[in-house]
Amino acid sequence: MATSLRRPSFTGCSSSPPDADDEGVRGTCEDASLCKRFAVSIGYWQDPYIPHLVRLSKERKAPEINRGYFARVHGVSQLIKAFLRKTGCNCQILNLGAGMDTTFWRLKDVDLLPSTS
């Protein structure tokens, strides 16, 4: 595949090999990241950080895939920004299953990071 994912620094609690335990999760992360990278490369939205995390694949994605990722990224981004503005950034955001998500850096660019105190 086009990306190189880091190995986890823990072995987990399972008796099966760690690669078998999280292979599906890592595969989903990689596929989603490749789709986002491709959509950004053809102008669906701006994300200056995704190229640093994911190499561009030569495989084109269907327009429906690009539109779906645009809708998801844009919708989640709007909800997070509204939440941060409503709370005056005095909150925490827990992003479960974030994969190689660039939300932190994009929020930092617009000075909307949650407060650390």
Q: Are 38 and 63 in contact (CB under 8 A)?
A: no
68 within domain boundaries: yes
Q: Which domain holds residue 44?
A: 18-109
Q: Encoding tokens for residue 7?
A: 């190995």
Domains identified in the chain, total number: 1
CA dist list (Å): 113 to 47, 101, 103: 17, 15, 10
Domain-located, residue 60: yes
Is 36 within the bounds of a domain?
yes
For the record, the structure tokens of 11 come out as: 């072995």
Q: How confident is the model at residue 100 (pLDDT cuts 50, 70, 90)?
A: confident
Give this prediction's pTM. 0.75
CA distance 38 to 32: 10
| pLDDT digit string, tens, across residues 52-73 | 999 998 889 999 999 999 999 9
Whether residue 42 lies inside any domain: the answer is yes
Would you say residue 55 lies in a domain? yes
Residue range 29-43, pLDDT digits in tens = 899 999 999 999 999
In sequence order, the 6+-apart residues with CB closer than 8 A to the CB of 15 are none
